Amino acid sequence: MSAKILDGKKAAAKVLENVRQKAAELARRGVTPGLATVLVGDDPASAVYVRQKIKACEAHGLKSVHVPLPADVSEVALLEKIRELNRSPEVHGIIVQLPLPKHIHADRALLAVDPRKDVDGLHPVNQGQWMRLKSWKEILASGRPLPCTPAGVMELLEQNGVRVAGRRATVIGRSTLVGKPLALMLLSADATVTLCHSRTTNIAAVCREADILIAAIGSPRFVKSSMVKRGAVVVDVGSNRTEKGTTGDVDFERVRPLAKAITPVPGGVGPMTVAMLLWNTVRSAEQA
């Protein structure tokens, strides 16, 4: 039997309907949730991501404030623009699109964002607050903005009835954007978690122990069928541009016959990331 497809577009639509409802409630109180996107330079991939976010805002009752800056903008000027957005009552969320040019320290830009407007969930104040909580229920109740992609994975699993508690979950990739926070989220949801990386010895054997296998390593088709236990749930966070088009970190066609459920690329985790960004923004507007 072929694996169930974990449809990110369908799950994202449910989140976005909640976003629309919250935005409508805020509008009745005279508040329009505002999301500011700061884009430095003209990186094609970054420009595509920003356009997607702007389009999503306009479609779901949010105001988009786009701030394009030249590639040679100084770090001082960028930080001042972020502080200006921090002061704006019309802006409830700020994202600084990564990557930034080499002459700008990304950490300084991210730290300049007011934690109350950190809808990417990357500010250490927000990370520290939710990471200190024990359970996933407590984390959700805290109201802290969570990193969008990891939170999107958790929402996708929940909507599809994937049981996390008591299961063995393996995350491949230890980035601060996805791997590390996702491992902690799964742990808080009572999974037994293994975090793999490029130095993991015999990574295939480690992955075969997983009931839930999540690939976030940024390497096309890295996860082969030999790395997957029959009946596992496989989540592909990867999005790699190749000559044959966009592909994930999982060898989808060969892994699918083994898996109980699997996410496609595109159409899996990607739509969830944008949906959770807008969710964080309306929550920020509510709290403001």
The catalytic residue positions are 53, 97, 120
Q: How far apart, in Å, are the Cα atoms of 101 and each of 46, 71, 97?
A: 12, 7, 11
Tokens of 84: 């200006």
261: which DSSP letter?
A: E
CA separation for the pair 91, 76 (Å, rounded):
21
DSSP 182-233: HHHHHHHTT-EEEEE-TT-TTHHHHHTT-SEEEE-S--TT-B-GGG--TT-E
For residue 64, count other CB atoms closer than 10 A to its CB: 15
For residue 131, count other CB atoms closer than 10 A to its CB: 15
- 50 with 274: CB under 8 angstroms? no
Write the CB contacts of 15 (distance below 8 Å, at least 6 apart in sequence): 155, 272, 275, 276, 278, 279
Q: 189 exposed, middle or buried (CB, 10 Å; 0-12, 13-18, 19+)?
A: buried
Nearest to 8 by CA among 206, 151, 218: 151
- 188 with 136: CB under 8 angstroms? yes
For residue 224, count other CB atoms closer than 10 A to its CB: 13
Residue type at 175 in one-letter notation: S
Tokens of 280: 């964080």
